[in-house]
Amino acid sequence: MQDSLATQEAIQDSLQQLYNEKIFKLDTTKIVSDSLRQHLTPTVSRINELRTEIGSILKKNSITKADLDKANLLIQEYRQNLDIVRAQKSDLETERDRLNDVLTQLNSEIKGLQESIAKISEENRQLNEAISKASIFITSE
């Protein structure tokens, strides 16, 4: 019975350690993801500003060569910012997929440890029952 309890405690310690490691991994990944989002927001704002500015230039009735040159430069910046957003979006999707994989692995490992704990608990119950029956048998002699 002592061995079963020690085994159960060891499994619970393993479960706690595994949980702590995975939570640390998730927290680290979340920090990276939040950082990526923080970089994404200003870029998206700049894209919106550029879109408005380009639209304003192109809506002018009497557009000059200087206006077209400025619009061309803004369009180039707009494209660069779109490329940045696409890359950051890809990074965010990769992080999301990695987070999902970590969560799936964590859930699987926790389920396995919970099954082990349930098995040991059942073994403890059976041992207690056997001990109880043995003590009744011994006292009846």
User: Cα–Cα distance between 55 and 29 in angstroms, integer?
Assistant: 39
Highest-confidence range of 7-11, 30-34, 35-39, 53-57, by mean pLDDT?
Answer: 53-57
Structure tokens at 83: 């490329």
pLDDT tens figures, 14-38:
777 877 777 777 777 677 667 766 7
Query: Which runs of consecutive H residues, i.e. helices, occur in the chain?
Result: 2-58, 65-140
Give Rg (Cα) of the chain: 31
For the chain, the average pLDDT equals 81
| pLDDT for res 20 | 78
In percent, the amount of the chain with pLDDT more than 90 equals 18
Residue 75 φ/ψ, nearest 5 degrees: -65, -40
Q: What is the separation of C-alpha 116 from the centre of its chain, rounded to a whole number of angstroms?
A: 26
| Mean pLDDT, residues 67-88 taken together | 92
